[in-house]
Structure 1
Amino acid sequence: ALHFPLALAAIVAFIAPYIYEQPNHHCPFCLLQAEHGYAGWVLYLPLFLGTAAGIGVGLAAGVRAESLNRAAPRVATGLAKLAVAALGVFGLAVLFYIKRSNLVM
């Protein structure tokens, strides 16, 4: 779960200026607005989903109830795949926004 605060800090410090195309604008909330193409939703939703799924993997792996012996590993596997996919979408979105930006730093 360490990736979550690091990703949020990276959005504010490094990624947001590329989306705003201004080196001095770092607001993480303006990314959610229409004038910036709702980029915050594209970044935050997969980040939050991937983080929640990753935490769910850890919780499912810690289940020791006899009745969940068969279901917990399947749930953990599905959540792990979801976490990897969601964080991959986050990474691709970051690359897309940096690549399409006209900001040169």
Structure 2
Amino acid sequence: MNTILRPLLALMPLAFAASLAFSQAVQAETSRLVIESGDSAQSRQHAAMEKEQWNDTRSLRHKVNTRVEKEWDKDDVAFDLRDKCQQSVNVNAYWESNTQRCLDRRTGRTVAP
């Protein structure tokens, strides 16, 4: 019996070390890994504020573009009217650049070129 116990006693430290390694591996398996989506109240609020700012700037850009388009249309119409006024057969017609109208030299009234 002594011969049987001696090899077992010699293997006891190895068995103890193996059991420690196994218990650590088991503990590693029971720990959880939590991956968050990054979606928090603060990030949602930040995204909402960015969207609101984007909508405001888009509205402002639309207003600016509309105004520029109206100014362009007015200049385009005035350019055409100036050409018609200068090419008019009425010798008393002249182009007033401040008011952008075709006027009669004698009366100062608007003339249809």
Question: Per the shorter chain, which TM-score range?
Answer: 0.3 to 0.5
Relative to the length of structure 2, the TM-score reads: 0.32
More helix by share: 1
Relative to the length of structure 1, the TM-score reads: 0.35
More strand by share: 2
